[in-house]
Structure 1
């Protein structure tokens, strides 16, 4: 810039000299300002404004022409504007330079552009200096663009490689997590099977002894044994239910429900427990909920209410437990029901309300020692409600009691439930001696238990120690029903059921099969039905459940 000023000054060109001096002074001033304050955007704007004014001044006043140097300067302004200020300002400065220049060229082409100022001309030495300087600046800018482009490509490749490496690590982590989850599920299933199998014998034998009209002292001992085994089974079930919920394996049904009847069935068993503790238990169902057909998931509703009521009774030493179902909104085809479980128990401190919903946690260690339990009940309730987009509300005060409530919306059918006349009891309802029963079971204790249990119904079963023998015995014998264990040597229950369904004799191929399983795999029900079995009971099972299912399947088959 200094060389250009010296060159034009020696040629006595005042206009170009003034512009060159102003440009040099501006560049030096802006450089000093930039070193003092790093205002890159402000300096860029001033530099581009000055460049634009000089370019337009040269075109319209000083030179009154568009020459190669002017074009070079416009190109530099365009490049610098995008490079320093981005796309939006780049477009603005580009148009500010290009539009007036194109206007001047059109004006010059159509008419004679004449103003009262004699145009000045660059001599050859000045042109050489300007062209050289412009080329140097162009090379400098393009060099920076190239280096930035190469750096971006390298950085992009590096980021891409890092991303690919992270993706590989993430994939490995996901595979490990899936294997870990699968291993945990398998472990819980195996442990469940191993725990449920002896529990089946303990609870089954206890039930058999209770059915034999024991003496008062014996009955008391058997009740304690049954209660303890039931508590152990409840702990196992809580762990498995929570694992199922956390694994996202919960599917909600939408089937017909008689809500008052469901609540009566849930609470029926708790009345005795409450009376044993000297508590007043009351179930209050809104009359507007009666004689209606609701649609929902009775299993999950039962699980939620059961856990809340069980906790209310467990943590209440004296007083009352209320269960209420109130219709808060009743429309033509939907109803919103408020469920609440209230007690006069120990209550919960305000600062512990969040902790009670954490898995395997209770309010404090004293509560755990005094009342026992896994601390999973409320965690299961909360997660089951959250999976349906619902919220569990808690109102509690230590020493006064607690109230847990939630609202649930149901689809409602317009049809009315008609009272069904109860079927007349059959004579000697426990006599199933006419049934030929085949039991496929490899566990000796379970075989003994099943024999004793079926003898109460006057059944003498045939035993097959594995699935292959069960298929063989059914092929050459006549049986009304098969009770099939699932985990057996040689051939498991699933394969045995499939082989039975392939038998040539249609009557034998369609023999009703009930699965007896201590497994807790999430998809066990689906596997049972897919293999061709008709129903299943989970060990330990209630004798009346097995009795009802056997009776129902045999009556259908006959």
Structure 2
């Protein structure tokens, strides 16, 4: 109510009666205004807006019945309570007429004070409750209409009983078109598809779910909730429509972005693989030419320039291998060739292979391995494990200044019946900040370098270490006390129980061949002229007979006339690729007797295809000359079903 204390208006043309009523009301604490005619009642009510009008029925101008009708008909005064009070019209029909005119109460005079005050207070409480209800309804409607989501209330028949402005607006209809209409019909009319709508868009009131639908070219999430009555029966339902078009557009954009990134990543991996392949061809020619020059060097002495070229070509070959391995990891093409491996030998071989490079930089190398009685056998890929150790040593060499110290150690830890080998490579180099340690195993991450990039590298060595170790079921971690305080990288690998490891089969020593029988007929099919010519000279220098072909067609033709012991076939040939060449040779007369070697710049990418095509061996460019020479000298006996 608008006043702290209720204001009452007492209208009565009888002065004595008016005085008596006013005195009783004021004694009870009410503020009272007075008037004696119907006209005064209308004027004072409009001006003062009292909370209650006590209106005598018999007035000199307008009777109280008519005054009440006019007050209730005026929106400004319709909410004001009216109490009829009469000393003349006291019959039942008079009371009925007064109440029918809109009055809220009817008393006859003389009136008892207690009855009057009780009636006044009752009417005031009723009006106060009505005002509170109207205020709450107005507040609810304001809130209801201010909601951004479309909300509607359904009756028992699934018809829209109430709807806020957002709901009406999103349907593009008027209030009259929405109210009373079945909700399911509204959804069907607004839907952009002829497919069946989800249950939340139907007439089932008990539905309690959410679904996303397209209405009038926009996407909405429709939420359904039943409204239960006193005994748990469903008496209606609430439907909430939330516009999610912007979210859907963002999701579509993110999906497209993810697809674009995946495609870009795929193309990047293909580019890396192609780059590595294209680098291998000239690198193969360089490595073989250096080996040829070294072998023919007068007096067997190497010049300083020759040593530099050999060392740098080997460094480039390792970087190309790492680059290709990253590409293969990203595409899931790395597979381990598992066998019993002695980690002790792996570490020893890797250390000896890197010892010269460490000593040339002036680094002191310390190696600590367990006693020979401690078994270090594990089930793994020896080549890949050597790559792990070599990369750790290369990392230590790169970031340790001349005069520094590099420690390589292996210990064995036991956890119950399980044994773990812990390989540690520690250096006294530049160390790592906490930020770098958190990211050191990520691709292309390196310690900060100067513009001259004197430390070199691609920042992929430790990434390969982590991935190769994880493929072996192990873990790798890094520790550093801070910048300038060195680093330690630790690799943990599961070891096999000593009694479960079978020693590798003894190597069969073949009898030495006579000089005449050791001469091989070799067919070389290679489209790169430099690689082809250098390989030819190398093989001829080793005392073998060589015939070359620059493409697959000529290679197949040359096979029939030469009948070679060995065919070295490049896979990336123009016209007829190496796989087709191998199949043609195997199908021809004598094709089952030749030892087929696949040469490729794609590392292990085509190993399976090579086996299926009929190759006996898969070699990656640049082929190490000593390995090729050993292969030709100790040519394996062919099996009916060759393996790579």
Match of 1:435 among 517, 520, 523: 520
* Aligned 1:242-281 pairs, distance under 5 A: 242-281=326-365
Q: 1:322 Cα shift?
A: 1.8
Q: 1:435 Cα shift?
A: 1.8
The answer to whether the Cα contact below 8 Å between 2:339 and 2:381 also exists between their aligned partners in 1 is yes
Alpha-carbon displacement from aligned partner over 1:423-445 (angstroms, at most 9, x marks no partner): 65854799874322111112221
Match of 2:322 among 222, 232, 238: 238
Alpha-carbon displacement from aligned partner over 1:361-394 (angstroms, at most 9, x marks no partner): 4322239633222222223324444665734222
With a CA cutoff of 8 Å and minimum separation of 6, indicate the structure with the bigger relative contact order. Answer: 1
Q: 1:483 Cα shift?
A: 0.5
Q: Which residue of 1 is the match for residue 132 of structure 2?
A: 29
Match of 1:508 among 591, 610, 622: 591
Match of 1:339 among 403, 413, 423: 423
The answer to whether the Cα contact below 8 Å between 1:442 and 1:466 also exists between their aligned partners in 2 is yes
**1:481 and 2:539 matched:** no
* Aligned 1:458-477 pairs, distance under 5 A: 458-477=543-562
**1:196 and 2:280 matched:** yes
Q: Which residue of 2 is the match for residue 496 of structure 1?
A: 581
* Aligned 1:128-527 pairs, distance under 5 A: 149=239, 152=241, 159=245, 163=248, 173=257, 176-215=260-299, 218-287=302-371, 290-291=374-375, 293-316=377-400, 317-329=402-414, 332=417, 334-354=418-438, 356-366=440-450, 369-385=453-469, 390-412=475-497, 414-415=499-500, 427=512, 433-503=518-588, 505=589, 507-519=590-602, 523-527=605-609
Aligned length: 457
Q: 1:476 Cα shift?
A: 4.4
The answer to whether the Cα contact below 8 Å between 2:595 and 2:638 also exists between their aligned partners in 1 is no
Query: Would the alpha carbon gap of residues 303 and 232 (structure 1) be closer, same or farther in structure 2, given more than 3 Å must change?
Result: same
**1:536 and 2:622 matched:** no
Q: Give the Cα–Cα distance (whole angstroms) in 2 for the partners of residues 94 and 88 of structure 1.
A: 16
Q: Give the Cα–Cα distance (whole angstroms) in 2 for the partners of residues 180 and 172 of structure 1.
A: 12
Query: Would the alpha carbon gap of residues 278 and 477 (structure 1) be closer, same or farther in structure 2, given more than 3 Å must change?
Result: same
Alpha-carbon displacement from aligned partner over 1:152-175 (angstroms, at most 9, x marks no partner): 3xx68x75x984x67765665555
Q: Higher helix fraction: Structure 1 or Structure 2?
A: 1
RMSD of aligned alpha carbons: 4.4
Deviates more, 1:436-445 or 1:235-244: 235-244
Q: 1:340 Cα shift?
A: 0.4
Q: Give the Cα–Cα distance (whole angstroms) in 2 for the partners of residues 170 and 511 of structure 1.
A: 55
Query: Would the alpha carbon gap of residues 322 and 35 (structure 1) be closer, same or farther in structure 2, given more than 3 Å must change?
Result: same
Secondary structure in 2 aligned to 1:414?
helix
Query: Would the alpha carbon gap of residues 36 and 454 (structure 1) be closer, same or farther in structure 2, given more than 3 Å must change?
Result: same
Q: Which residue of 2 is the match for residue 110 of structure 1?
A: none
Q: Give the Cα–Cα distance (whole angstroms) in 2 for the partners of residues 382 and 430 of structure 1.
A: 48
Q: 1:354 Cα shift?
A: 3.8
Q: Give the Cα–Cα distance (whole angstroms) in 1 for the partners of residues 439 and 225 of structure 2.
A: 54
Q: Higher strand fraction: Structure 1 or Structure 2?
A: 2
Q: 1:518 Cα shift?
A: 2.0
Q: Give the Cα–Cα distance (whole angstroms) in 1 for the partners of residues 617 and 378 of structure 2.
A: 25
Q: Give the Cα–Cα distance (whole angstroms) in 2 for the partners of residues 429 and 368 of structure 1.
A: 55
The answer to whether the Cα contact below 8 Å between 2:539 and 2:629 also exists between their aligned partners in 1 is no
* Aligned 1:65-104 pairs, distance under 5 A: 91=228, 94-95=230-231
The answer to whether the Cα contact below 8 Å between 1:259 and 1:294 also exists between their aligned partners in 2 is yes
Q: 1:484 Cα shift?
A: 0.4
Q: Give the Cα–Cα distance (whole angstroms) in 2 for the partners of residues 321 and 309 of structure 1.
A: 8
Structure 2 residues without counterparts, runs of 5 or longer: 1-77, 83-98, 108-114, 145-204, 209-222
Q: Give the Cα–Cα distance (whole angstroms) in 2 for the partners of residues 355 and 377 of structure 1.
A: 13
Higher gyration radius (CA):
2
Q: 1:253 Cα shift?
A: 5.0
Query: Would the alpha carbon gap of residues 175 and 289 (structure 1) be closer, same or farther in structure 2, given more than 3 Å must change?
Result: farther
Query: Would the alpha carbon gap of residues 87 and 174 (structure 1) be closer, same or farther in structure 2, given more than 3 Å must change?
Result: closer
Q: 1:280 Cα shift?
A: 3.2
